[in-house]
């Protein structure tokens, strides 16, 4: 259950409002009382976050060309795509690392990196 919440918060663009931070605190407390194994929790959460980021990046990579194929619109302007591509070429790794610590941004940053076609080798897991 905990794995799915962490994965959903990081990997599914439609679920950025899950309470992953509150869950971490509550489960951390339970682990401190000995009710849960902290090593199993940490390893599963790290795996869930990495898998979620990868799925989110690949989703953006798949959706991006389809969205920006249409003529210019207010939200899907090709100029925005060029700016995002330039941003992720310059600051991509740092932006994704810092985004891990900002609740809503952590969901959208890998997705936008995928849309902007950030180099997969530079994409930090």
Q: How many CB atoms lie within 10 A of CB 110?
A: 29
pLDDT at 35: 78
What's the rounded Cα separation, in Å, for the pair 111 and 97?
Answer: 14
Alpha-carbon distance of 118 to 61, in angstroms, equals 9
pLDDT of residue 125: 53
Specify whether the CB–CB gap between 63 and 113 falls below 8 A: no
Give the per-residue pLDDT at 16: 63
Q: What is the pLDDT of residue 53?
A: 85
Specify the pLDDT at position 71.
67
Domain carrying residue 28: 2-122
Total number of domains constituting the chain: 1
The pTM score is 0.76
In tens digits, the chain (125 residues) has pLDDT values of: 777 777 777 777 766 666 666 777 777 788 888 777 888 888 888 898 888 888 888 888 888 777 777 666 666 777 777 787 788 878 878 888 888 788 777 778 888 888 887 877 777 65
- Whether residue 52 contacts residue 7, with contact meaning beta carbons closer than 8 Å, is answered with yes
Q: Report pLDDT for 124.
A: 67
Q: Give the whole-angstrom CA distance, residue 119 versus residue 113.
A: 9
Q: Give the N- to C-terminal CA distance of the chain in Å, as an integer.
A: 22
pLDDT score recorded for residue 115: 80
């Amino acid at each position: 259950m905990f794995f799915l919440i962490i994965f959903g918060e990081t990997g599914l663009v439609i679920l950025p409002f899950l309470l992953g931070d509150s869950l971490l605190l509550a489960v951390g407390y339970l682990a401190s009382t000995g009710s849960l194994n902290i090593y199993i929790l940490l390893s599963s959460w790290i795996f869930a976050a990495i898998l979620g980021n990868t799925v989110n990046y690949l989703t953006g990579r798949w959706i991006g060309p389809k969205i920006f194929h249409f003529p210019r619109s207010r939200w899907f302007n090709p100029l925005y795509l060029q700016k995002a591509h330039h941003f992720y070429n310059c600051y991509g790794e740092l932006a994704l690392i810092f985004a891990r610590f900002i609740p809503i941004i952590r969901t959208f940053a890998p997705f936008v990196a995928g849309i902007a076609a950030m180099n997969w080798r530079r994409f930090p897991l």
